Amino acid sequence: MNFPSQPSLAMADFRRLGNYIHAELGIKMPDAKRSLVESRLRKRLTVLNISSYEEYCAYLFSPQGQKYERPFFINQITTNKTDFFRDCQQFVFLEKKALPELLSSVPIGCFKKLYAWSAACSRGHEPYTLAMVLSEYTEQHKNIDFSILGTDISTEVLNVAQKAVYAHEEIEPVPMALRKKYLLRSKDPSKNMVRIVPQLRSKVRLCRLNLMNKCYTCVEPMDIIFCRNVLIYFEKETQHQILHKLLDHLKPGGFLFMGHSEIIKPAKFPLKPIQTTIYQKVVTGKRQ
Ligand SMILES: C[S@@+](CC[C@H](N)C(=O)[O-])C[C@H]1O[C@@H](n2cnc3c(N)ncnc32)[C@H](O)[C@@H]1O
């Protein structure tokens, strides 16, 4: 029996898409990624009832495609793997070292609000993990409040983060005591879903932000920045440019948490290495 053959992505079309991805998202697209791009975009061809990648490219790069297809294209191209309490040791450091240090200068009886940013937050696991850790901490320290910003380039993952509904398997890394406190079970037991409780959701503001943007307008000065497992997709020079922009939004004395494959040379930045993947912004004499 003969099956109709699947369309394939020609190298010329892949390079056109690759250059676009690199320019718009900052993500490196070596030739070895051709089959990955081909498989990720196959779904779009089916949805749009388009029979070839050539035709898909023509649509994507047309004014109409740029208006309507661009967000779907970005959603398909980005890698969104994430977890609750991913690299758990970083959250232990946050609770045991970073938070006490950040709050050490607050005079007794004074109020302090902490600002944390999950840059490239994917489907929300990282900002909600931060919210659980900060919520636990602030419960013990009554004059402290917090606010978390989660940003990502993909509208699809931001929609998931906004709903804050997750499959039961995904909450495996969340300690039992925190599950009981911060996760609501679906009323329909057959669904096996959980939702982050409203009081935690209200602490997390989500906004679409491309880290390639010249400036990050939706971002206030931060005490804590998590930027993990995203810079790895960018070239060195782009990584450095993004890091400088992130650091413009980190207060002196604030902490930066990176992914394990994202080793940076702190000498190039106003950063002091604290532990593998954890840095602190140096306090200079200048007012910032
Ligand atoms: C692998 S996930 C990492 C999620 C989370 N930080 C973690 O470590 O679990 C990478 C995320 O970066 C986002 N991303 C990729 N390029 C981006 C860009 N130029 N600006 C903002 N986010 C981007 C993707 O959409 C994806 O959600």
CB atoms within 10 A of CB 260: 13
Q: Which of 16, 40, 179, 195 is catalytic?
A: 40
**Cα gap 287→205, rounded to integer Å:** 28
Q: Whose CA is nearest to atom 13 of ligand 1?
A: 120
**Cα gap 226→242, rounded to integer Å:** 13
Right CATH number for 11-77 from 1.10.155.10, 1.10.3720.10, 2.102.10.10, 3.50.50.60? 1.10.155.10
Q: Residue 85 above 60 pLDDT?
A: yes
Tell me the pLDDT tens digit for each residue of 175-234. 999 999 999 998 887 888 999 999 999 999 999 999 999 999 989 999 999 999 999 999
pLDDT of residue 54: 97
**Substitution candidate for ligand 1 out of 153, 210, 227 with most atoms within 8 A of CB:** 153
Q: How far is CA 83 from the centre of its chain?
A: 11
Smallest CA-to-CA distance from 250 within 115, 107, 113, 105 is with 115
pLDDT of residue 288: 40
Q: How far is CA 208 from the centre of its chain?
A: 10
Place of tokens 């607050």: 106
Q: Residue 271 above 60 pLDDT?
A: yes
Smallest CA-to-CA distance from 117 within 183, 178, 205 is with 205
- Catalytic, 40? Answer yes
Which ligand 1 atom is nearest residue 75's CA? 25
The structure tokens listed for 136 are 């636990």
**Cα gap 99→138, rounded to integer Å:** 10
Q: What does each C-alpha distance from 231 to 34, 186, 216, 227, 235 come to in angstroms?
A: 20, 35, 16, 8, 8
- Percentage with pLDDT > 70 across the chain: 97
The stretch 92-115 carries a mean pLDDT of 93
- Percentage with pLDDT > 90 across the chain: 86
pLDDT of residue 265: 82
Higher pLDDT among residues 143 and 125, named by residue: 125
**Cα gap 14→33, rounded to integer Å:** 9
- Catalytic, 145? Answer no
- Comparing 93-97, 109-113, 278-282, 284-288, the range with the smallest average pLDDT is 284-288
Q: 117 with 170: CB under 8 angstroms?
A: no
Which ligand 1 atom is nearest residue 211's CA? 20
Q: 120 with 74: CB under 8 angstroms?
A: no
Ligand 1 centre distance from Cα of residue 122 (Å): 6
Smallest CA-to-CA distance from 231 within 28, 23, 10, 19 is with 28
Q: Residue 274 above 90 pLDDT?
A: yes
The stretch 19-25 carries a mean pLDDT of 94
Q: How far is CA 165 from the centre of its chain?
A: 17
Q: Which of 86, 152, 201, 223 is catalytic?
A: 152
List pocket residues of ligand 1, CB cut-off 6 Å.
25-27, 78-82, 86, 120, 122, 126, 152-154, 157, 210-212, 228-230, 259
SS3 (DSSP) at 185: strand
Q: Residue 287 above 50 pLDDT?
A: no
- Comparing 91-95, 129-133, 175-179, 183-187, the range with the smallest average pLDDT is 183-187
Q: Residue 76 above 70 pLDDT?
A: yes
**Cα gap 180→153, rounded to integer Å:** 31
pTM of the model: 0.94
Write the CATH number of the domain with boundaries 88-162+201-281.
3.40.50.150
> Hey, where are the domains in the chain?
11-77, 88-162+201-281
CB atoms within 10 A of CB 106: 13
Strand partners for 280: 255, 272
